[in-house]
Chains A and B, each alone.
Chain A
Amino acid sequence: MRILSVSVMPVLFLVIIASGLFRRVPVFEAFTDGAKEGLKTAVRILPALVGLIAAITMFRSSGLLTFLTGCLSPVTEKLGIPAEILPLALLRPVSGSGSLALVEDLLTAHGPDSLVGRIASVMMGSTETTFYTLAVYFGSVGVKDTRFSVWAALLADMTAMLVSVWVCRYFFG
């Protein structure tokens, strides 16, 4: 698994650059044009993250977060989920920037390579902002009756969340 994880980037780099040169794409120009997009994204998410990370840090320093996770841990531990992860699992389908802020908080508080940090990373990486996606996609074509979509999407999210806990415990626990 380690080899696979480490080799993804080198392979992508070489394949992309090589095929660019092969197709006579001005690779450096294309790169800088694309990098501009990354910069725009970063600037776009900044205001929301300032507000959210500030609020989450307040929540944590008040002691309320520790208090709440303490209350929840007997329930979550039966499922093998660390209680620290639960707020992320609840917020993830609702808010993309909110959950990104929570992941940042967990990585800072527990370390990115701790079990909690890894579970949070995997959960974040393998899920989407479900309700936002549903609203934008169905809303754009005026669909009111979405039938069973919400349940199927949430079932998929729950699967990703539970599997992320199990997989991390198996690989890193």
Chain B
Amino acid sequence: MMNYVWAGMIAASYLFAFFTGNVEAVTKGAMDGAQRAVEMVFGLCGMMCLWTGLLEVARRSGLTDALAKLVRPLLSLLFPDLKKEPAAKSAIVMNMTANFLGLSNAATPLGLAAMEELSRINGKSKRASDAMCMFVVINTASITLLPNTLLALRSAAGSTDTFGILVPVWICSIASVIVGTMAVAMLSRREARRR
């Protein structure tokens, strides 16, 4: 997919430029863009390291576990089928906590461990269970306290109000999680009724 998008963009740019007489500008754009990408990553780097460093301190001092305890009560609401499955629940909680803190590198292995557990409960079926759908949709909806790459990008781009977008981000994340979880709940109930 990405291969075609990327190749298509380059080919279309030159083709369009050929008709409008912009060919040199496009070549210059390629070089400028490559240069800018490196500058951007270097600009990001400091803030990314600051955040991942701080989060490592949080993890070692047990703050992530404390946060996980706070999330737990929400779980029985979202996963009614997992009442007697503590292992699955704790994997899900760990994944949600990691996502919430923006620890995406840690979140994926934890999420896959949770999927493994849900698959076992589901008898390794090729058909997704309600709990799996709910879990994956929550993961695609992204609930993050601090979207660190984005904040670093904004500050690297010279923003004078880097953190000003946080409250809007939270509002949107909450709205999308509510819609996503409600959609899963309604669609799974509709399927159950049809059977």
Contact = CB atoms under 8 A, between A and B. Distances in A.
Contact of B154 (A107, A155, A159): A107
A58 B33 contact: yes
A144 interface: yes
Contacts of B13: 55, 58-59, 61-62, 64
B58 A141 contact: no
B136 A138 contact: yes
A56 to B, nearest CB: 7
B193 interface: no
A122 B179 CA distance: 17
Interface string A99-125: 011011001100111000110011111
A5 B167 contact: yes
A45 B30 CA distance: 18
B94 to A, nearest CB: 15
Given A42-B44, A141-B118, A146 B128 contact: yes
B33 A55 contact: yes
A141 B176 contact: no
A152 B137 contact: yes
Given A53-B40, A104-B40, A143 B127 contact: yes
Interface in B172-193: 172-173, 175-177, 179-180, 183-184, 187-188, 191
Interface residues of A, number: 103
Given A38-B53, A58-B13, A142 B124 contact: yes
B125 to A, nearest CB: 8
Contact of B164 (A2, A107, A144): A2
B50 to A, nearest CB: 7
B26 interface: yes
Contacts of B153: 100, 103-104, 107, 121
Contacts of A137: 111-112, 115, 135-136, 139
7 contacts: A16-B55, A19-B61, A113-B161, A121-B165, A127-B142, A141-B116, A156-B140
